[in-house]
Structure 1
Amino acid sequence: MITMKRRRKEMESVEKKQKEFHGLYNQGATCYLNSVLQVFFMTTEIHDRLDQNSNTDKELRNLFKKLETETCWTVDITKSFDITNVHQQRDAAECLEMILHKVSPQASQVFKGEMKYSTTCSEGHNLNTEKNPFLTLPLSLKDANISDFSVESGFDNVFHKKSFIGDNLVYCEQCGKKTEATRKCEMLEFPRILVLLLKRFDFDNNTMSHFKSDRMVVMPRTLQRQARGSTFKCFSLCLILKII
């Protein structure tokens, strides 16, 4: 009996120490917005970067403060981000990027990275080089043949070389003809927080309609790019990763 009482007191003490989380009311069909806002609320790195002189930043800061103690409405947030029809369903990934483009640059900076794409012919001539900044990195779920999708493999596939061979040759001005080539991708600047978007929706050319992949996703505890020595630790099921 003494053991049971002691165990009960220990459990009560643990429950008191645990942080209580609160939700967001759905205005109509704003579940996409609510899920994104909860992700930003858990991404504490951006909280101190929110600019009080920016209306969007200020509304986010106010919402995050309220979420610490109560369940909240998002009326002021939808107005701030010009979401006029709250009964229209939208894509969460598009909403996330929209918010990152509307908040102050200092707040979105932690999500910014830069990719470099370069194409080289079989003789080593540089055909094209592009540098593109990004806020999110999409991963396709349709490329692998196995039933489960590995986030680690999908991330590595982004950096695999693409070959142009057979009927898919490219023209090289220095060679003066169409030739085989390779295209490689390199991450020049790693963001402090890497957002991976799982592309579950795709288009079927046979049925001429969109479909959703129900593949199981296998997610590692950490994600690393050996070439640059950057390691990301996963802290959210929606695949927002923090660099460690």
Structure 2
Amino acid sequence: MDDTGANASALEKEIGSEQFPVNEHYFGLVNFGNTCYCNSVLQALYFCRPFREKILAYRSQPRRKENLLTCLADLFHSIANQKRKVGVIPPKKFITRLRKENELFDNYMQQDAHEFLNYLLNTIADLLQEERKQDKTNGRLANGSLDSQNHNSNTPPPSTWVHEIFQGTLTNETRCLTCETISSKDEDFLDLSVDVEQNTSITHCLRGFSNTETLCSEYKYYCEECRSKQEAHKRMRVKKLPMILALHLKRFKYMEQLQRYTKLSYRVVFPLELRLFNTSGDATNPERLYDLVAVVVHCGSGPNRGHYIAIVKSHDFWLLFDDDIVEKIDAQAIEEFYGLTSEISKNSESGYILFYQSRD
């Protein structure tokens, strides 16, 4: 315990009391047996300010029965209300609840941080939608009047603050090369998974995501207009960009000949400032400026081996959270997490999930 205390006071000294941001707390999280996948994502989300504010506001509402969201709210509240500015907290209640709720995480094995992020955001959104439905029912029973729209099971569930913060929309466009008719289908995302290539950048990965592919030979597309299978062009475009863009780099690839997943430690540059062009025609704001606020980094050679850490931006400096250890790092040091130019030393520390926050 002593070295953790020493680490904390060193951090406090390094930041300096005059520089220390008001109402900010930097607390490492205890690892409960390979729970770094969870700790790193929780730290990244804590430093996504809009998300933290919503979670803390939720905590101040009337108490509900314990679930993953109430446990997360308690954890964030506990960090935000510590007497000390730096230190360590055991997220025991949250981990216990997580293991109870989802058997995927109910073990001491290393899990995938992206799977956990996905599960967490979707679970919170589901819980919020469920609560809203219950409140509506209770409200209805209280005033005795029936709300007719509630009987329509086809209406999509209302969007929650999780959607307001993380949800963007993709549009899948297919253009028949015979009659030129375009059919498009929208789909929402809470995080965007992009393929990686060696020595590229995030911008390049996103551009690759929107590349046009040709559907031909046995993959021809059935065109409603022509009423037959035709060659077509297909592409994915971002129609609506989210407030916080969570980008997942697909670094784990299944290798047939090895019969297992291997890690792509490719060097993919992610800038501190990302200018994104909405590629779809009817986009509301054609260009958005994003700032990097957090990165979940995978260290090691494969998905089930290795370790996760998080680097986050707080006010105007960067911090590295490695379970219970927290240290201040230089913005230049972020380049160390881009990945490797050569695949020789597989054991890389490379950016895995990037959180970009929109400026407006």
Structure 1 residue 121, shift from structure 2 partner:
0.9
**Larger relative contact order (C-alpha < 8 A, sep ≥ 6)?**
2
Is 1:80 equivalent to 2:97 in the alignment?
A: yes
The match for 1:18 among 14, 17, 20 is: 20
2:30 is paired with a residue whose SS is coil
Give the Cα–Cα distance (whole angstroms) in 2 for the partners of residues 180 and 98 of structure 1. 37
Match of 1:71 among 79, 88, 100: 88
Name the SS for the 2:289 alignment partner. Answer: strand
The alpha-carbon deviation at position 154 of structure 1 amounts to 0.3
Task: Determine the C-alpha separation between the residues in 2 that align with 1:13 and 1:39.
Answer: 21
SS at 1:160's partner residue?
coil
Q: 1:232 to 1:174 in 2, by over 3 A?
A: same
After superposition, the C-alpha distances for 1:45-84 in whole angstroms (9 at most, x for unaligned) are 1123222345433322321233344311122112333256
Within the candidate set 243, 248, 273, 1:192 is matched to 243
Contact 1:23/1:71 (CA < 8 Å) preserved in 2? yes
Distance in 1 (alpha carbons) for counterparts of 2:200 and 2:26: 30
Per mean C-alpha deviation after superposition, the further-off stretch among 185-194 and 161-170 is 161-170
Q: Deviations over 1:146-192 (max 9, x none)?
A: x3131111012222222224564333343354432111222222211
Superposed, 1:72-221 pairs within 5 Å as 72-81=89-98, 82=101, 85-103=106-124, 104=128, 106-109=160-163, 110-126=165-181, 128-141=183-196, 144=197, 147-165=198-216, 168-220=219-271, 221=273
Match of 1:39 in 2: 44
Contact 1:122 1:181 in 2 (8 A): yes
Deviations 1:14-37 (A, max 9, x none): 611235622100111111110111
For 1:63 and 1:21, the matched residues in 2 are separated by 13
Alignment pair present for 1:231 and 2:295: no
Alpha-carbon deviation of 1:87? 1.0
Contact 1:119 1:184 in 2 (8 A): yes
Is the CA contact 1:115–1:185 (under 8 Å) kept in the aligned structure 2? yes
Is the CA contact (8 Å cut-off) linking 2:179 and 2:225 kept in structure 1?
Answer: no
Stretches of structure 1 lacking an aligned partner (at least 5 in a row): 1-11
In 2 relative to 1, CA 15–131 (structure 1 residues): closer, same or farther, beyond 3 Å? Answer: same
Name segments (4+ residues, structure 1) moved above 6 Å: none
Moved more, 230-239 or 29-38: 230-239
State the Cα distance separating 1:120 from its structure 2 match: 1.3
User: What is the aligned partner in structure 2 of residue 242 from structure 1?
Assistant: 357
Q: Deviations over 1:166-223 (max 9, x none)?
A: 5643333433544321112222222110100011101123443321111112112213
The alignment partner of 1:18 has SS state of: coil
Q: Is the 8 A contact 2:275 2:287 kept in 1?
A: no
Q: Which structure 2 residue ranges, 5 or more long, are not aligned?
A: 1-12, 130-159, 280-285, 297-353
Secondary structure in 2 aligned to 1:233?
A: strand
